[in-house]
Amino acid sequence: MDEERVYTAAVLVIGNEVLSGRIQDANLAFLAGRLKAQGIRLREARVIPDVDSAIIDAVNTLRAAHDYVFTTGGIGPTHDDITAECIARAFGVALERNPDAVRILEDHYGDELNEARLRMANIPAGGALLDNPVSRAPGFRLGNVYVLPGVPRIMQAMFDGFRHTLAGGRPLRSRTVTAFLPESQVAEGLAAIQARRPEVEIGSYPWVRKGRFGAALVVRAVEASDLDTVSDEIAAMVRALGCEPEITEGESAPPPD
């Protein structure tokens, strides 16, 4: 692990069911939180359909641009599960029946292992299997691309099984200064602080609840001392506007409706 290096990642959500509005994706939010804790910056996410050219293009663009790519979806037993085949084509390698994956499926399914389930043992040549503690059919890693299932419960268990192997840099810390003021009142002071402190990222997220206006002012920094200095400056600016801020570690979500 190189302490000074910034590690970046992209997430690629593969699935017509997200673009058709059938389901709301939940995998991006999970991966975003886990990668942040691991010291890896999630820089981009894409949602694409089950179309081979779209998958191949996106995988090749993202794996060239980032340290890590995580795909979700499209690795089941049916005709619309084309992710493994597309990853093989993106890397220019063969899609092979992986003997270790076959053994895992044989152990799990016994006499109920059929040809459709065996499709889940088709892995690009050179792919390293990722353990699936829930439903056994493995994911895989090829180069810097981690290929995960779309069902959130299974994806999460698989990710948590290998996340200790992901090299990251120093985690981005964050702290939230909540101001019970319209965002526009803090805008000028906040812009001045951001201009003086380019090494820190400051986000302003407004909310309205029961007629009350507020803004979560989120500071993100690698250095704890930067986090302290900048969140103190923001809190002082809010106090100067006549409002006592609330300060919480992390990125606080808006108050409930």
User: Which residues are at the interface with a second copy (CB under 8 A)?
Assistant: 16-26, 28-30, 32-36, 42-50, 54, 76-80, 114-117, 119, 135, 151, 172, 174, 183-188, 190-191, 194-195, 201-208, 215, 218, 220, 251, 253-254
- Among residues 169, 184, 177, the alpha carbon closest in space to that of 232 is found at 177
Nearer to a second copy, 49 or 161 (CB): 49
Write down the least CB distance from residue 42 to a second copy, Å: 5
| CA–CA gap between residue 154 and residue 150 (Å, rounded) | 8
Write down the least CB distance from residue 126 to a second copy, Å: 26
Residues recorded for the chain: 257
Beta carbons of 172 and 218 less than 8 angstroms apart: no
Cα distances (Å, whole numbers) of residue 169 to 37, 40, 67, 217, 231? 10, 6, 11, 24, 23
The pair of structure tokens assigned to 9 is 């990642």
Beta carbons of 57 and 50 less than 8 angstroms apart: no
Write down the least CB distance from residue 79 to a second copy, Å: 4
- Among residues 97, 103, 31, the alpha carbon closest in space to that of 68 is found at 31
Write down the least CB distance from residue 78 to a second copy, Å: 4
| CA–CA gap between residue 124 and residue 142 (Å, rounded) | 8
Write down the least CB distance from residue 48 to a second copy, Å: 6
